[in-house]
Amino acid sequence: MKTLLQIAILFYFAGTVDAQTGIISTYAGNGAANPPRAGDGGSATAAVVPGGSGYGCLNKYGDMFFCQSNNHTVRKITASGIISTIAGTGSLGFSGDGGPATAAKFYYPNGCATDSFNNLYICDSRNNRIRRIDASTGNINTFAGNGTSVNSGDGGPATAATFSA
């Protein structure tokens, strides 16, 4: 499998660097700033990808996920290059646990990771939580953190822990 390193989304483009060759490639963005989620359902390189976004990750199928921090959303680019918004309403806040990820609110999501079951974990940074999207249902729940920005909770349930995300 090809090893790609995501580089920051800046000036309305996002790119990757192939770790073997050092070649940089644009994977999303058309250079436009607005509207922030334009292009869903189409080619990722024709979509609007605002600046100020967080880091991304890949799943085992080659799909890429990235946080649009300033727009409080998470987007997915399939291995075939189609982009969609998979989480967040675009309004900042905290809501949506137990329901569809597309109806959830985030406050500056800035990173993500996937597990071997293709569940997606999102750092909801200003809500001081790690949130998990279930790959089989598309529903979101808090995985860790209770929203308080102090560090405590070792030895207890992850959802009762307090930390700064």
Which pLDDT score, from 0 to 100, does residue 100 have?
A: 99
Residue 165 lies in a domain: no
Domain that holds residue 45: 4-160
Phi, psi dihedral angles at 103 (to 5 degrees): -100, 0
Residue 57, number of CB atoms within 10 A of its CB: 17
Do 51 and 10 touch, CB atoms closer than 8 A?
yes
Residue 60, C-beta contacts closer than 8 angstroms, at least 6 positions apart: 114, 116, 118
Which bin fits 41, alpha (ψ -120 to 50), beta or left (φ > 0)? left
Of 4-13, 50-59, 115-124, the least confident: 4-13
Q: Taking residues 59-87, what's their average pLDDT? A: 90
Give the helix ranges, DSSP H, for 102-161: none
pTM of the predicted structure, to 2 decimals: 0.84
Q: Is residue 98 part of a domain?
A: yes
pLDDT in tens, 18-42: 777 877 676 677 666 666 667 899 9
Q: How would DSSP label each residue in 22-35? A: --EEEEE--S---S
Residue 37's pLDDT is 67
Beta-bridge partners for 87: 74
**pLDDT of 76-91, one tens digit each?**
989 888 999 999 999 9
Looking at the structure of the chain, the number of domains it has is: 1
Q: Is residue 114 part of a domain?
A: yes
CATH number (domain holding residue 110):
2.40.10.500
Residue 111 and residue 124 in contact, taking contact as beta carbons nearer than 8 Å:
no
